[in-house]
Amino acid sequence: MTASAGAPRRGRPGHARADVINAGVELFNEQGYDATSVSDLTRRLGLSKSALYHHVDSKEQILQTALEDALGGLERALADALESATAAERLTAIIRGAVCVLAQRQPQVTLLLRLRGNSDIETAALERRRRFDHTVTQLVREAQAEGVVRADVDAGVATRLIFGMINSVVEWYRPDGPVDPELLAGEVLAIALGGLAPRR
C-alpha cells in the first residue's frame, strides 16, 4: 500500500525530518541561507544527498518550513490577542505572546529576522511580517485612543521600538538559562508599556 501524497514523511531510520529542518536552520543562521549548500547540510547531518532528499525536497523547503513555524506562531499569538476586549488588553497580549514565540522558536525567528528578500519565499515571508506589523501598529493607535499609550508618540515608531526590544531577545536569550519566558514577557511589558504610558 502506498502512502498518500499529502502524508508527512516518516524519515529514514535514525534521522527524523525535524532534525533535518533544525540542522538546516542552524546552518542558515550561522552562514546565511544563500551561502549554505546542500553539501553543507549533508556534511552537518552525516547523510548522503539521496538520504537528505528522503526527508525534504530541497533547501528551499527547509527555509519555507522554518519561516512558517516562526510566522505561524506570531500570527496565532496575534489572533489570540485580537480576541481580548480592550485595546490595552490586546496590546499587552500580543507583546506577551510575541516574546513567548521568540523564546520558544528562537532559531526560526532569528532566520525570519535576517531575511533580505532574495527569493520568492523570503519576499512572501516579509510581506506577512509587514501585515503583522501593520496590525500591531493599529493596536497601538487604539490603545492611544483609550488613553493607555501616549498620544504624542507616532504609533508606527512605537511599534518598531517595542519590537526592536522584543526581537533583540533572539541575540541573547538561552532556553536553558535562568530567565523564564513568562518572566521575560512581563519585564518587556513593564519596560515597553511603562515607557509609553501617558504622562500624569
pLDDT for 39: 95
65-89 b/e (C-beta count within 10 Å ≥ 16 → b): bbbebbbebbbebbeebeeeeebbb
Give the burial class of 62: count Cβ atoms within 10 A of its Cβ; 0-12 exposed, 13-18 middle, 19 or more buried: buried
Average pLDDT on 6-18 reads 57
For the stretch 19-58, pLDDT in tens is 999 999 999 999 999 999 999 999 999 989 999 989 999 9
Q: What are the boundaries of each domain within the chain? A: 17-56, 61-196
pLDDT for 200: 63
- The pTM score is 0.87
Interhelix angle 87-104/59-81, nearest 10 degrees: 150
Mark out the alpha helices in the chain (DSSP H runs): 17-31, 38-45, 49-55, 59-81, 87-104, 106-113, 120-146, 155-167, 169-172, 181-196
Which set of grid coordinates corresponds to residue 13?
A: 531510520
107-140 b/e (C-beta count within 10 Å ≥ 16 → b): bbbbbbbebeeeeebbeebbebbeebeebbbebb
Q: How far is Cα 10 from Cα 115, in angstroms, rounded to an integer?
A: 29
Domain 17-56 in CATH 1.10.10.60? yes
CATH number of this structure's domain 61-196? 1.10.357.10
For the stretch 93-120, pLDDT in tens is 999 999 999 999 999 999 999 998 889 9
pLDDT at 127 over 80: yes
